[in-house]
């Protein structure tokens, strides 16, 4: 696989990042995941806009322009013959001479930028989309700036492992009784034909797939309520689903062992998935 590191395209086993990189030592960095369908990037602009916001919230500078970033994405897709999969992008605050809690001067320490591809043949036809996934609920004990897409992913990883230990696929995080989001996706329920999802705030990541899905739902005259919903409401809902760049729209059929609706993927999630994939190709 060819990867991109700080201006160079290299075979993955020749790519190098310093042991002093703050991404490695302090999770001081941000990332984006852009899906690729039929060799085409899905919603690159949305991801680029969110990346800029994450960087500016952390007083970091983009080491490349948006046009250069697009070229790098395209170049990696081409060099790796990627048909279906994703492009991972990470920008960390770089490698100062010594470990220090204070941020280094950006004029002296440039950020580190890394991109690589992951091939996922048949990404759009994931079998889980037909069966749905099972989630458990866990306390949301993450920090208060979940709107910034940082590489601090330890708790979401632990949540995923807690789910697997219970024979489930993922975890929904709950704060004060209300669902915030999934470990790596935004959460939705459907009740009496209305789609309910938590509004944008610092409590959740502002999903790029979420924005697109809500736009398509409005265009299709579907009713959407952007409001927090409780775990109890979710268990009593007609349908539940999640969205992310890597899963698109994915039905949730069980929460903490309770079947959602009929216990099978519902029509609203199926329709939104179909529209999303159609619009993204
Ligand atoms: N995760 N919420 C969280 C906590 C996420 O990590 C993600 C994305 C989302 C959905 O955002 P988007 O629709 O822009 O992908 C919501 C990516 C896919 C990941 O970490 O792999």
Q: What is the pLDDT of residues 177-215, one digit of tens each?
A: 999 999 999 999 999 999 999 999 999 999 999 999 999
Confidence of residue 146 (pLDDT cuts 50, 70, 90): very high
Q: Which of 74, 106, 121 is the last residue of a domain?
A: 121
Please state whether 34 falls in left (phi above 0), alpha (psi between -120 and 50) or beta.
beta
165, 224 Cβ separation under 8 angstroms: no
| Average pLDDT, integer, range 161-188 | 98
pTM beyond 0.80, yes or no: yes
Distance, CA 108 to ligand 1 centroid (Å)? 32
Distinct helix (H) and strand (E) counts, the chain: 8, 15
pLDDT at 86: 98
Compute, in angstroms, the gap from residue 98 CA to the centroid of ligand 1: 32
Residues with CB under 6 A from ligand 1: 33, 181, 184-186, 205, 207-210, 243-246
Report whether 29 contacts 103 (CB < 8 A): no
Q: Give the CATH number of the domain where residue 101 resides.
A: 3.30.470.10
Write down which residue in 121, 148, 172 finishes a domain.
Answer: 121
Query: What is the number of structural domains in the chain?
Result: 2
24 three-state secondary structure: helix
- 143 and 185 co-located in one domain: yes
Active-site annotation, residues: 149
Q: Can you tell me the distance from the alpha carbon of 52 to that of 148, in angstroms, rounded to the nearest whole number?
A: 10
- Note down the domain range covering 244: 128-280
Per-residue pLDDT reduced to its tens digit, 57-106: 999 999 999 999 999 999 999 999 999 999 999 999 999 999 999 999 99
Report the separation in Å between the CA atom of 97 and the middle of ligand 1, taken as the mean of its atom positions.
32
- Strands 258-259 and 186-191: what pairing? unpaired
Nearest CA to ligand 1 atom 6: 184
User: Which pair of tokens denotes residue 102?
Assistant: 């204070």
Cα separation, 99 vs 19, whole angstroms: 10
Which atom belonging to ligand 1 lies closest to the Cα atom of 204? 2
- Residues 28 and 82 reside in one and the same domain: yes
Helix (H, G, I), strand (E, B) or coil at 193: coil
């Amino acid at each position: 696989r060819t990867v991109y590191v700080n201006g160079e395209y290299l075979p993955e086993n020749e790519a190098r990042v310093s042991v002093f990189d703050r991404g490695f030592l302090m999770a001081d960095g941000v990332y984006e995941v852009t899906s690729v369908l039929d060799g085409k990037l899905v919603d690159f602009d949305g991801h680029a806009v969110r990346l800029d916001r994450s960087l500016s919230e952390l007083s970091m500078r983009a080491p490349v322009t948006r046009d250069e970033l697009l070229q790098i994405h395209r170049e990696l897709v081409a060099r790796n013959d990627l048909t279906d999969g994703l492009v991972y992008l990470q920008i960390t605050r770089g490698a100062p001479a010594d470990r220090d809690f204070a941020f280094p001067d950006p004029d002296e320490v440039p950020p580190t930028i890394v991109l690589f591809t992951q091939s996922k043949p048949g990404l759009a036809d994931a079998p889980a989309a037909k069966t749905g996934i099972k989630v458990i609920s866990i306390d949301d004990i993450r920090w208060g700036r979940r709107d910034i897409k940082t590489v601090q992913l330890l708790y979401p990883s632990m949540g995923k492992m807690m789910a697997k230990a219970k024979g489930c696929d993922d975890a929904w995080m709950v704060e004060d009784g209300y669902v915030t989001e999934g470990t790596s996706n935004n959460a939705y329920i459907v009740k009496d034909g209305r789609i309910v999802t938590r509004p944008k705030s610092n409590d959740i990541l502002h999903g790029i797939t979420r924005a697109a899905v809500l736009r398509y739902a409005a265009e299709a005259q579907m009713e959407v309520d952007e409001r927090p919903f409780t775990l109890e409401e979710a268990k009593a809902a007609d349908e539940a689903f999640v969205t992310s760049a890597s899963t698109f729209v994915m039905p949730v059929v069980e929460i903490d062992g309770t079947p959602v609706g009929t216990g099978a993927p519902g029509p609203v999630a199926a329709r939104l998935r179909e529209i999303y994939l159609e619009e993204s190709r």
